[in-house]
Structure 1
Amino acid sequence: MPKILHPVAGALAMILIGTFWLSTVVSELSGDPAFIQTVKTAIPWGFLLLVPAIATAGGTGVVLSKGRTGGLPGVKLKRMPFIAANGLFILIPAAFFLAAKARGGDFDTTFYIVQALELIAGLGNIILLGLNMRDGFRMKGRFRKHPVIKP
């Protein structure tokens, strides 16, 4: 079961974080306060899917590693505390703060400073999750180099 749950949960987490990030960028670039408000107040509802997906991916990853701390499993496991800390201490609080500010139409300097921090931290998690996904594919042999056949 972990062999199925792990990639599904990891992919779901990556899709959700990417959607939050891209929706934020598009709404901010639009400059439409109503659109920004809609996006910023919707994101915390996405945590109802994201938090269990991240927890499932992390938990099944630990089970699948079978205690191995070296090689690619070890590299993936070492990234997880950074992903979790970034989410728990920066991304989730920032999302709730921004949702509250947006709900009140309060798009001040503080809003945009926190928004910039959230975008940077979110991009960091996208990169770390992407590296974990890449390493998972490598562990499954999906990115093997095939020999070049010369004519």
Structure 2
Amino acid sequence: MKMIKKIHTCSAITAFLLILLFFSSSIIVELFGDHHAVLMVKTSILYGIGLLIPMMVLTGFTGFKMAPKVKTGPIGNKKKRMPFIAFNGLLILLPCAIYLYHLASLNQFDRWFYIVQVVELIAGFINLILMTLNIRDAHQVKYTLQTA
């Protein structure tokens, strides 16, 4: 169980940091970069998703293994958030990343690019908030176990 907990923690932190990196690099390059820099970031994000998806799956799998029957409290709250995080990632963020890369590779920085970019940033920010809440709840459980 101790190894599963370490894997869970590492995969969750890696996933969170990747999403934070994707989010912040998108904002920075949009504010200060040229079209070539935007293409580089969109390409990097697309490749980074190849690491992000397994980390998210591993986080969910190990989390379920550690508390398969828990439905209430902080762990229950984490379990309720995870389907939304996954839905948001797979059905909004992944298609946005692919489409933005496609448009950037065509040097097509039109209104559709920026509309999709805003959607991606909003969805990414929501996932960051939800994942931050999951991290908070994990620490709450750890603190409760230590003081019990």
| Aligned match for 2:133, one of 117, 122, 131 | 131
| Pairing of 1:1-151 with structure 2 (within 5 A) | 1-141=3-143
TM-score, normalising length: structure 1: 0.92
- Partner-residue secondary structure (3-state), 1:141: helix
- Partner-residue secondary structure (3-state), 1:106: coil
- Partner-residue secondary structure (3-state), 1:24: helix
Unaligned runs of 5+ in 2: none
Percent of paired sites with the same residue: 43
- Partner-residue secondary structure (3-state), 2:143: coil
State the structure with more CA Rg. 1
Distance (Å, rounded) in 2 between the aligned partners of 1:119 and 1:87: 12
Coordinate RMSD, CA, aligned: 1.4
How far 1:64 sits from its partner (Å)?
1.0
TM-score, normalising length: structure 2: 0.94
Unaligned runs of 5+ in 1: 146-151
Runs of 4+ in 1 over 2 A off after TM superposition: none
Aligned length: 144
How far 1:31 sits from its partner (Å)?
4.3
